[in-house]
Structure 1
Amino acid sequence: MPQLNPAPWYLTMLTIWTIIILIFTPLLMKIQLPNTTEPNKATISLTPWTWSWY
């Protein structure tokens, strides 16, 4: 079974990964999920509190 020269395959893999990163990273950065965990400002309790062991 002949051995393949790794040099062109490494360059091909590096090129493909670079293209994938350059195409998909901006697409993933555009995605903004809505923040549904932020409570309503009108219902927030503004009374101060401390830890029970202090």
Structure 2
Amino acid sequence: MPQLNPAPWFMILILTWIILLVMMTPKVLAHLSPNNPSPSATEKAKTEPWHWTWH
């Protein structure tokens, strides 16, 4: 049975991963988000402690 011989299938798996990594990685890394975040406020928000009524 050819399914029990891992030699050709392992090489196909490795070559497939190498091809995908070489071809797809630059395309994914070149993708730019259309909504780049920008700093809207430089001052910190005022935080107040909570007053627990049962404590």
TM-score (norm 1): 0.63
Aligned positions, number: 47
Instruction: Find the counterpart in structure 1 of residue 53 from structure 2.
Output: none
In structure 1, give the amino acid aligned to 2:47: W
Q: 5+ unaligned residues in a row in structure 1: which ranges?
A: none
Instruction: Find the counterpart in structure 2 of residue 26 from structure 1.
Output: 26
- Root-mean-square deviation (CA, aligned residues, Å) is 2.3
TM-score (norm 2): 0.62
1:1-54 alignment runs, 5 A limit:
2-4=1-3, 5-34=5-34, 35=36, 37-38=37-38, 44=41, 46=43, 48-53=44-49
The percentage of counterpart residues that share the same residue type is 26
Bigger drift between 4-13 and 24-33 goes to: 4-13
